[in-house]
């Protein structure tokens, strides 16, 4: 099993946005900062993050101009980090302006998209490669991965974006995102006094930018929801990903990730039964509790679902 590009007790550079016009990191309006993270090594030589705290990775992801860089880099980061470093840092194939900015992009990938589950990382790599001709599928997969790995992005999606989407609203106002973050700060001791008004405004703005680049909203000043159609194949993939989480609910109808299917609670059972008939998942519903299990493993899910479809 190839080792991931993370090491025990390391300092990872990350970027903090400000309100001037500096471009120190290779992306506009950001400066370099550091955080310390303790990592746990498994017997196979892979590493797992054991804590997930609020951070401002949303700001950095929102400043990446071309998400094809992420789609190409993520499989290499997981399977062949040395090759990625050669492409990104040594040869600068992505045309970053400085070596520091290239290394920071590499650190960002680790922070935002490498999970504490080795199985999820391996599956994400395989799927991203398999979806190389389907940008919408790549974008949805990245949305799920970032939600799994970033606490703030997950909560904003669950409590604002997906709530509004499933209510049938037309727009996602920035003011709603700002209000949510302020309320979060007021009720969380770890965040009180740590984010300025400018930081909050930047997070809200960059959050909407991330959603736009993932093709989930559209528009310039006003962000309107796009219609997200999750195919049977992608829904089966999502069930498989969620099954790999250690904090999943036994009753899928009560799981926080239910809304991440972009399907209402009233319609999800019918959709799952539909893919259950294709023998892509197993499900058991007793009238109250819905148990859902994958049929395939990481080694055969792509052949089992996409080449059988």
3-state SS, residue 49? strand
Does residue 69 surpass a pLDDT of 50? Answer: yes
Calculate the average pLDDT of the chain: 84
pLDDT in tens, 251-294: 999 999 999 999 999 999 999 999 999 999 999 999 999 999 99
Q: Span 60-79, mean pLDDT?
A: 93
Helical residues (DSSP H) of the chain, grouped into ranges: 57-63, 68-79, 81-85, 99-113, 118-130, 135-149, 151-156, 162-166, 174-187, 197-213, 232-243, 265-277, 301-305
Task: Give the pLDDT score at 116.
Answer: 79
Q: Which residue has the higher pLDDT, 240 or 190?
A: 240
Between the CA of residue 84 and those of 70, 105, 109, 145, 265, what are the distances in Å? Answer: 11, 11, 11, 19, 41
Task: Give the pLDDT score at 163.
Answer: 98
> With pLDDT > 90 as the criterion, what percentage of the chain qualifies?
66
Does residue 78 surpass a pLDDT of 80? Answer: yes
Q: Which helix (H) or strand (E) holds 8?
A: none
Task: Give the pLDDT score at 91.
Answer: 84
Q: Span 156-179, mean pLDDT?
A: 98
Nearest-CA neighbor of 305 among 266, 274, 262, 275? 275
Task: Give the pLDDT score at 12.
Answer: 36
Burial class of 155 by CB neighbour count within 10 A (0 to 12, 13 to 18, 19+): middle
Does residue 81 surpass a pLDDT of 60? Answer: yes
Place of tokens 């609203």: 169
What are the backbone dihedrals phi and psi of residue 104, each rounded to the nearest 5 degrees, phi first?
Answer: -70, -35
Q: Which residues pair with 217 in a beta bridge?
A: 225
Phi-psi region of 56 (alpha: psi -120 to 50; beta: other; left: phi over 0): alpha
Does residue 68 surpass a pLDDT of 80? Answer: yes
Task: Give the pLDDT score at 309.
Answer: 56
Q: Span 43-66, mean pLDDT?
A: 70
Nearest-CA neighbor of 232 among 270, 290, 269, 272? 272
The answer to whether residues 10 and 41 touch, using CB atoms and an 8 Å cutoff, is no
The answer to whether residues 77 and 5 touch, using CB atoms and an 8 Å cutoff, is yes
Task: Give the pLDDT score at 308.
Answer: 65
Q: How far is it, in rounded angstroms, from Cα 84 to Cα 69?
A: 11
3-state SS, residue 281? strand
Q: How many CB atoms lie within 10 A of CB 87?
A: 17
Q: What is the DSSP string of 20-62?
A: S--BTTSSSSEEEEEEEE-EEE-TTS-EEE-------HHHHHH
């Amino acid at each position: 099993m190839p080792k991931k590009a993370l090491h025990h007790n390391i300092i990872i550079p990350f970027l903090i946005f400000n309100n001037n016009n500096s471009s120190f990191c290779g992306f506009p309006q950001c400066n370099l900062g550091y955080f310390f993270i303790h990592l746990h090594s498994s017997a196979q030589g892979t590493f797992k993050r054991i804590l997930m705290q609020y951070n401002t990775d949303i700001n950095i992801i929102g400043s990446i101009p071309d998400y094809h860089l992420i789609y190409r880099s993520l499989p290499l980061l997981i399977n062949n980090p040395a090759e990625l470093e050669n492409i990104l840092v040594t040869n600068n194939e992505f045309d970053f302006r400085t070596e520091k900015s290239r290394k920071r992009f590499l650190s960002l990938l680790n922070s935002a998209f490498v999970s504490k589950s080795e199985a999820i990382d391996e599956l994400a790599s395989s799927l991203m490669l398999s979806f190389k001709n389907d940008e919408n599928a790549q974008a949805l997969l990245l949305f799920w991965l970032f939600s799994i790995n970033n606490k703030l992005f997950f909560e904003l999606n669950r409590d604002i974006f997906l709530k509004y989407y499933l209510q049938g609203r037309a727009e996602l106002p920035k003011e709603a995102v700002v209000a949510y973050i302020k309320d979060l700060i007021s009720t969380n001791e770890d965040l009180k006094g740590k984010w300025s008004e400018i930081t909050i405004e930047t997070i809200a703005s960059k959050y909407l930018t991330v959603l736009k680049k993932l093709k989930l909203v559209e528009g310039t000043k006003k962000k309107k929801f796009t219609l997200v159609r999750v195919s049977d194949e992608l829904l089966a993939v999502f069930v498989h990903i969620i099954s790999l989480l250690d904090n999943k609910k036994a009753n899928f109808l009560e799981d926080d990730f239910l809304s991440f299917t972009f399907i209402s609670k009233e319609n999800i059972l019918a959709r799952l039964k539909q893919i259950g008939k294709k023998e892509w998942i197993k499900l058991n519903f007793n009238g109250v509790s819905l148990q859902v299990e994958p049929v395939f493993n990481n080694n055969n899910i792509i052949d089992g679902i996409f080449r059988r479809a």
